[in-house]
Structure formats: structure tokens, C-alpha cells
Structure 1
């Protein structure tokens, strides 16, 4: 049958692209559909070829039907292919006159899917391990970054790293003097100022409290049940907390896990509502370990420490331009208990200080001229304005 017998060449309907590439698995079966449309009425037979040779007719299905327009006719031929061996793969072509469509069957590699599944499992395992490492090591990473790149809080005229307020009860005193103070001072070199008196006994903070807090870079409150039984806490804990937030930047509250459930509901709700302005740490049974998260989180909110070689003094005050005895390491007012083993400043622990012999008057007044006072005007007192009271002549 020639083109003249049918009038015009047939039009390929399926496959629309004329060429298809498929990757079926070995052992599967598929049907190759080839559909054409004739403009004029004619009889036509479609030929299937495999790799240029006629395909077996046992797998071929062919049907005709007419459209609503009697001048058009459709031919559909389906070739069923069973991929039992590797020889069943190849190039299949349906051909009618000069119109043809090809189907190329490639062998699908099952290992590709296995590799994709293994890759997905590896990615999932990496994400899980990364999440676990982040949970376990995030504090260590943050501490390393802080110690490496955080700013040093020096030249601020402050003598202590933290002001610790606690209630003089048996539990709070032992925790502060025998756990908190020795660990921070002996292990990490922090300097703490302990105060067991009421932090805010009156409606307004006292001048002594303001001076002591201003000498410390952080404020730590041991918030226990005994601490909350103080008068200022029982009257208005909300007002007291607001005043504490004014005294110190992001104060640190340490709570005991075994007492947390017994705390008043309004206290815990108020602390949780102010989490952005304060830091809450929970002391647990396993927090006593030096590697616990409690100490890591506490160090993150304390100032960064700068270590110097032994004998060079306090690194936080190393760059001060003043030789005031108030800031020297070997001052008479130095900490009498630097190891922090007791931490309690009471007279019955130590013998009274020896009496000082009266200073004899200088017989030769000319020796007074040996004291050099020429640099008094050049000294820098701006960083320590909180404990210098300048008195002007009208105040006398």
C-alpha cells in the first residue's frame, strides 16, 4: 500500500514525541502503544520492528475505529513486551509508510535505587548524629567561642566578677561557701563578693548595696525557700525583682531542683515571664560534677576570664593606669581566705588582728618631701567613680 492509496500520510497520535526512552526493571512487562490517524478511508497495516528486524507477532495487538467524522480513521497497535532476559531490551519501532515512532528500552540498574536509599539513610544518620552532638556539645562550643572571641570586661573599675546574695540558712550557706565559691574561684579564677544580708530590706536599695553591687560585674541570687521567706520577698516579690533588674544587667537566679515544686506559683510564673531579662539555673543532683551543664551555663553568663602567668596579678585589672593600693594584689585589704574553703567572714574563725604600734611623728620634716605627689592630677579615677566621693569646698 502506497501513499496514493490512502490519499495523505497518516498523523502520529501516540507517542506524541515520536521517540521514547524507558528504563524498565528486568522481569517486568510493559505495553508499547502506537496510534495513528488517517485523513482518508484506507486499509493499513502497522509494522513493528525490534533493532531493525520484525518483532514477533504473538505480542502484537491491533485495532481500528472511526471518528465522528467519517473521513477520518484511527489505528492503534499495542506491542506487549516481557523482559525476562537482557536480550528483550532494545529499540522497538512502529512503522506505517514513512511515519514511525520508536521506543528504546534500557536496562535499569537496581543498584542505583539501592544507592539512593543508602544515601538517604546516610544523610538521615548524619542529621541524627549532628543533632545529638549539638545537644551534647552545644555548651562546649559556645564556651569555646566565648573564650575565643568575646570581649573582655576590663578597665571597668570593678573588683569582683559576681555579687552573690543568699540567705544565711544551713543549706544555702553550705552551698554558697563550700560549692559555689570554691568551684568558681579555685577552678576558673572568678572573684565573688558574698552577702548573706537581705538584698532589699527597704523599699529602696541602700547606698551600701548600690556601692557593693556596682563593684561587681554580675549579680547571683540563691533563690531558695528560705530566701523567699525574707520579709521583702514575702511583701512584694514582683517589686523586689523589678528593682533587682534595675541594679544589674541580667541577674542570675539559682534554684534547687528539690525545692522548685514547692516555690510559690506567682514566683515561678514571674521568673518565667522575665526570662529575657534574667537567667535561671536549676541545681540538680548531678550538677555537682565539674563537667555538668550547670557550670557551663553559669560560666556562659559570667564574664570572660583572661589568664596570665603566675605572679602577674589580676588580669581584669592588669591594664589599670592607677597604682591605688585599693587595686593592688598585695593590699592589706586582700581576701584573707583566697582559697574559698570557708567563705565566712566572722571574727570567731580567726584571731583578732594585731595592734599596730602608734606612728611616731617625723622629726625631720624635710623627709616628707621625698613623697612624690606630682602625678596625683594625672591619675585616672573615671573608671572607679562609684567608690570615690569628691567633696567640693562649698560642702565643707
Structure 2
């Protein structure tokens, strides 16, 4: 009998000492269940403690429920006590223990800060603000960034034999002529350094490219079409614009079409719908009311569609001409016959005056005292005339050479020849 009353109970719940972190203001339930041998003369008692002290009358804020039951053969008894704790203050936290015959099961309650939503909301707003700021900066500076990257790392279209950067096709109407000659041409040539070939004739007469068109477009790196009301009235635009578009795609890679916003909304031409459907192979730009300023998006988009320009000093030659090894004497920068190396016989020079760089040697000095001065002067003029007729530089083909793309000409006439 004494052995049964002295045997320690077996703690079923909790299986081990538990540590809980409930939030302040919540309610928590602690369950302590034990099993022990049953004897009617040995009835155990279950008590709750907090921080090593038994609950007394002052612990009325805690509510507990005790349940007991026997096993089927009535050899074992089970005791279960449920303690409910309202965590209204920091004093409610601590170490709770259930005591049965000097056997304890402990519950450690630690305060846990409630998950606040303020920080999460602020973080979400911060991320959203950064995304909106990034989107605004991208929308505002996208073209500038693309231009900077293209001008720094873009592909150079040089040594390709092209004479012009763009072939501009427009209708022979007053409005289109003013736009091309007084707006587009000065902006692209004077500000951005491009060279344009202007053509106000029908680009596809009879829907077939002419030989002149093929030759002229082959000399240009890009094709620009000013798509206005007057341009769309041409025969090839009204009759078969789809076939004409494929012709243009064969002649030039990704042609550029410029439409006016005021006319773009009113145009009900099938060409507009066709260009919208093929935006991947063509570039469609709109001239708006604010496109007149040099820093507008229209000019940035147009420059992105045009080839990258090569920057070089004025004293240097065009890198395209240098890479093509142009042997034209007018275009050679350091020609041997243009360099003055000094007269090896200075004593033969008249009065020590150096001759012109491109002229022949001075005429022989007339030393015969019997020859009259007038006759000597005539002889000298005849000699100079003969020397002038024998030019060391062949200039017979100067009229057929194209120097329109050059800006660093050499003048073959000196001040002494004037």
C-alpha cells in the first residue's frame, strides 16, 4: 500500500518542459495530464504553481478544471488539469508548473511582441514608391539613355561605300517641301551632322523602282518617307501600297515613316493600318505639336533610327574615306607634293624668295647684260606660261569628282597666283 502511494506519477502532457511565447492580451490554455497507480486509500492531489509559489486566493484570475478517470481494469488513474491564463500584463508571464507527488511539469511563458503591420506597410509603400520613381525616370530618360548607349557602344556603319546617311522621299507639295527643307534638313544636317539626299519625285512610279531610285537608295544608309496626305495621293499608295512596302523593304532595311499627328488621326488610308501591323519591320514616327523643339522625343527617336555618327576632329579626315583608302589627291591629307621641304639650292632662288608649293622651279635668271630688261621680262613670262601648262597634277577629272561630302578642301591657288 505504501509502495503505491509513494510511486511517482507518469507525466503524459506535456511530454517535456514547454516554452511558449503568447502575445500580450491573449489567453492561453495549459494542459497537465498524469498517470499513476490507483488505490482508494491513496488519493493524490494536483496543484499549480507560478514562479515556484502555489496558487492561493490571490490567484483567482486563473481558472482551472480538473478531471479524473480510471483505466478499464481500474488499476491506474488518470488526472488532467486545464489552466486558463489571461495575459493582461507583463506580470502574467513566468514559469507555470503542475505538481503531483513531488513531480512537476513546467510551462515557461515568454512575452512575444505582436506582429505589427506598420513596418510591413511602410516597406511595401517604400518599394512601391521606388518602382514608380524608376518607371518615371525610365519614361522620362529612356531615349536619352538609349542614345547614350548607342553613341558609345553602338555599331559603326563605316567603310560601307555609302555617300548619304538617309534618303528622304516626300511629296512635291508646299507643306511637305517646307517641312523637309526648313525643319528636317537643318535639324539633321546642322545639329546632328547627318547628310541627306532629298527626292520629291514619286519613289515608285508604276509600283516599280526605277534605276535611278535603286542607285540613289543604294548610296544611302536609311530611307525616310514623309507620309502626308499629299504623299498618300500618289498612284502607288492608292493602288497597291502593300506591294510597294515590300519593294521598299527590299531596297532599305527598316525604312522610317514620318506621319503628322494632325493628319494621322484623320487619315483613313489602308497604308496606316498596314504600317501599324508591321511595326517590327518599319519605324513609324509621329510629328506632334511639341516636336519643333530640338530636344523633343521626335528627334531622339529619329536619331535612334538613323546610323551612329562618327565624331572626328576637323583637322582629321573622314574615317570612312581613310578606311576606303581614297587615293584622290584632293582628299589625301599628308601628300608629299603638298609638303614644303625647302630648296636644296637656295642660291639659285630669285632674291632669296621661296617659290610656291605647287608651282614649278623659278625661271632661269637672265644674266646677259646685253638683253634689254623688257625683252627679259617677256622671256620670263613665256617661261612661266610654259611651266604653267606643264602641271605635275592631273586635274582633268576634277569636274567628275564628288566633293559634296567633304569639308576639308585644299586650295590649289595661293596668294601669289591671284
Aligned twin of 1:77: 82
Q: For the residues of structure 2 that align with 1:45 and 1:35, how far apart are their CA atoms?
A: 13
Residues 171 and 82 of structure 1: is their aligned pair in 2 closer, same or farther, counting only changes over 3 Å?
Answer: same
One of 270, 274, 277 as aligned partner of 2:278: 274
**3-state SS of the aligned residue for 2:243?**
helix
Which residue in the other structure is 1:108 paired with?
Answer: 113
Aligned partner of 1:350 in structure 2 is: none
Distance in 2 separating the partners of 1:322 and 1:132: 49
1:22 has 2:27 as partner: no
> 1:122 aligns to what?
126
Q: Please give the root-mean-square deviation of Cα atoms over the aligned residues, in Å.
A: 3.4
Deviation of residue 324 (structure 1)? 3.9
Q: Is the 8 A contact 2:12 2:35 kept in 1?
A: no
The 3 A distance-change label for structure 1 pair 178 and 47 is farther
1:61/1:249 CA distance change after superposition, 3 Å: same
Alignment correspondent of 1:38: 35
Structure 1 residue aligned with 2:49: 49
Aligned position for 1:341: none
Aligned counterparts of 1:150 and 1:46: Cα–Cα separation in 2: 85
CA drift at 1:290: 1.9
The separation in 2 between residues aligned to 1:68 and 1:174, in whole angstroms, is 108
Out of 173, 177, 180, which is 1:176 matched to?
180
| In structure 1, distance between residues paired with 2:88 and 2:67 | 27
Would the alpha carbon gap of residues 154 and 286 (structure 1) be closer, same or farther in structure 2, given more than 3 Å must change?
same
Report 1:236-247 matches (<5 A).
236-247=240-251
Conserved 8 A contact 2:167-2:199? yes
Who is 2:164 aligned against? 160
Once the 2 structures are TM-superposed, how far is the Cα of residue 91 of structure 1 from its aligned partner?
3.5
Distance 2:142 2:72 in 1: 75
CA distance in 2 between partners of 1:275 and 1:328 (Å) = 44
* Partner SS, residue 288 of structure 1: coil
- Report the alpha carbon displacement of residue 305 of structure 1 after superposing the two structures with TM: 1.2
Q: 1:65 to 1:182 in 2, by over 3 A?
A: farther
Question: Paired residue for 1:60?
Answer: 63
The 3 A distance-change label for structure 1 pair 248 and 62 is same
Give the Cα separation in 2 of the matches to 1:222 and 1:165.
6
What's the offset of the Cα at 1:8? Answer: 7.4
Work out whether residues 166 and 196 of structure 1, in 8 Å CA contact, stay in contact via their aligned partners in 2: yes
Question: Relative CO higher for 1 or 2, CA cutoff 8 Å, sep ≥ 6?
Answer: 1
Q: How does 1:289-328 map to 2 (within 5 A)?
A: 289-324=293-328
Deviation sequence 1:213-254 (CA, Å, 0-9, x none)? 111111111111211100111110100011111111111111
Q: CA shift at 1:39, angstroms?
A: 7.0
**1:326–1:29 Cα change, 3 Å:** same
Using the TM superposition, give the Cα deviation of residue 69 of structure 1 relative to its aligned residue in structure 2, in angstroms: 6.1
Q: Aligned partners of 2:322 and 2:118: how far apart in 1?
A: 64
Asked whether the equivalents of residues 97 and 104 of structure 2 are also in contact (C-alpha less than 8 Å), the reply is no
TM-aligned CA distance change 1:75 to 1:308, over 3 Å: same
Residue 91 to residue 188, structure 1, CA distance change in 2 (3 Å): farther
Larger Rg, first or second structure (1 or 2): 2
TM-score by length of structure 1 reads 0.73
SS at match of 2:206: coil
Deviation at 1:54, TM superposition (A): 3.5
Deviation of the 1:301 alpha carbon: 1.3
Partner of 2:135: 131
User: What secondary structure sits across from 1:243 in the alignment?
Assistant: helix
Q: Is the 8 A contact 2:4 2:37 kept in 1?
A: no
Distance 1:308 1:58, change over 3 A: same
Residue 10 of structure 1 and its aligned partner are, at CA, apart by 3.7
1:203 to 201, 207, 227: 207
Counterpart of 1:234 (choices 233, 238, 241) is 238
Distance 2:6 2:273 in 1: 90
Alpha-carbon shift at residue 51 of structure 1 (Å): 3.2
1:213 aligns with 2:217: yes
Match of 1:189 among 164, 189, 193: 193
